[in-house]
Structure 1
């Protein structure tokens, strides 16, 4: 055996030794059973089914949402490829502004009694009982087991019933051909889309969202993302100490996004 063959043989034995173990059992004289035990592969993020053991959500403290800050909007656009949208040549600017996809926007709410104005980052509220899912005729609007409300662009027919049903005006319709997009965020003309809590991050095991990260580093740390079901998690602990509410509590949708300081 030459040196090259010896090297290959040694490497092969090492590989087999790491991947499997051989057990020899003598059943009777002259009868030997060889059992090969193959090592089980390690699971990778995104390879396991989504379960209802978690429910993803947010707490947004409007008191920390600073005037003039749009770090969360900018981060969301960059993360999901919305910053790649280009106004068609000759398109009216006002019309474009109304139609361009926005997954998160800043709205202002004024208390008529006190005059206090709150700034609220508004996105899909990821309701436990989402009206958008109820009215969708094809099942394109759906809620995952972990509470994330999404749109399947492959079955969306662009009827926009979900947009009419959403009390938060959180969904956008894609009017123009999407020439440039990110691989991780499929987008296409004729489909409805909205915030999905950075689902591509969830499925890879990343702990936060783009908007929460940006708010923590560039804003006022107003957005806290986490598991609503984890009693020891930072989100549940914050909700236990900071008075908060749902937007449109009267609808009893049990939203996954809560607001403090409103």
Structure 2
């Protein structure tokens, strides 16, 4: 089955789905099917620990599981380099109305009421292994690639916003206005939902997400890589320090981990 030029930014691998017997299974299957049909993209393979891009006509590889580790001891309170980089790279501009502005990544301040210790934490789409946004999407616009990156296909998003209600991380935004200065890498459309894509086009080209590169210049709180590769920098770091996931009790298996939270 060949991929068409859908509005999503990356491709999905093919997988055989079992017959759906309930609404949850049906929606999962619909999301996976849409992803297979609509997702042009590439696969990254690691050779000697180095990521290399694959040709665009090849799907994302299920052997990969992209993720982030954020060390809050290195994340400075007041630093917004990751937010600025995300906005610049994806063409997200302020409308003057904060309540309707897109927030693909945001900084939140966490305070321990017992000790008064504060931490600054970037929060974005957690790219869950079992994403609730995909489960509730009636059209399959919310989709998960074979490598774990969660995306929205703008061509079939109807703007129902069920995914926004289902997301426990408040990581999706609704596009309220027309945009005539969009970036090629981040198509946007009035009446659709959007969120962090992990800069999927950069990942498919063998690069880090824009926020990770910006953070590296400000203290290096973020590590990006393949969670399935035991020799990747992120896998080694996860084994070396205790980490937590936001709302781990929900069992959605986020790909984003936090150290020193």
Q: Shared fold by TM > 0.5?
A: yes
* TM-score (normalizing by structure 2): 0.77
* TM-score (normalizing by structure 1): 0.77
Alpha-carbon separation, structure 2, partners of 1:45 and 1:68: 40
Q: Which residue of structure 1 aligns with residue 178 of structure 2? A: 177
Alpha-carbon separation, structure 2, partners of 1:114 and 1:188: 45
Superimposed CA distance per residue, residues 204-245 of structure 1 (whole angstroms, 9 cap, x where no aligned partner): 2x231100000001x110011000000000000000001100
Deviation at 1:51, TM superposition (A): 1.6
Deviation at 1:118, TM superposition (A): 1.4
Deviation at 1:254, TM superposition (A): 0.9
Q: Which residue of structure 2 aligns with residue 243 of structure 1? A: 242
Q: Which residue of structure 2 aligns with residue 161 of structure 1? A: 162
Alpha-carbon separation, structure 2, partners of 1:260 and 1:209: 19
Give the match's secondary structure for 1:107. strand
Q: Which runs of 5+ in 1 are unaligned?
A: 1-42, 88-92
Q: Which runs of 5+ in 2 are unaligned?
A: 1-52
Deviation at 1:67, TM superposition (A): 1.8
Pairing of 1:1-262 with structure 2 (within 5 A) = 45-82=55-92, 85=93, 87=95, 93=96, 96-204=97-205, 206-217=206-217, 219-262=218-261
Give the match's secondary structure for 1:139. coil
With 112-121 and 52-61 compared, the bigger mean Cα shift is at 112-121
Superimposed CA distance per residue, residues 3-62 of structure 1 (whole angstroms, 9 cap, x where no aligned partner): xxxxxxxxxxxxxxxxxxxxxxxxxxxxxxxxxxxxxxxx95323111211000000011
Alpha-carbon separation, structure 2, partners of 1:225 and 1:167: 22
Structure having the higher helix fraction is 1
Q: Which residue of structure 2 aligns with residue 28 of structure 1? A: none
Q: Which residue of structure 1 aligns with residue 12 of structure 2? A: none
Structure 1 stretches of 4+ with a deviation exceeding 3 A read none
- On the 8 A contact 2:83/2:106 being kept in 1, the answer is yes
Give the match's secondary structure for 1:105. strand
Give the match's secondary structure for 1:214. helix
Give the match's secondary structure for 2:213. helix
Alpha-carbon separation, structure 2, partners of 1:143 and 1:114: 40
Alpha-carbon separation, structure 1, partners of 2:169 and 2:100: 16
- On the 8 A contact 1:129/1:253 being kept in 2, the answer is yes
**Residues 256, 49 of structure 1: alpha-carbon distance in 2 compared, 3 angstrom cutoff:** same
Superimposed CA distance per residue, residues 115-148 of structure 1 (whole angstroms, 9 cap, x where no aligned partner): 2211110000000010111111111001100000
Give the match's secondary structure for 2:69. strand
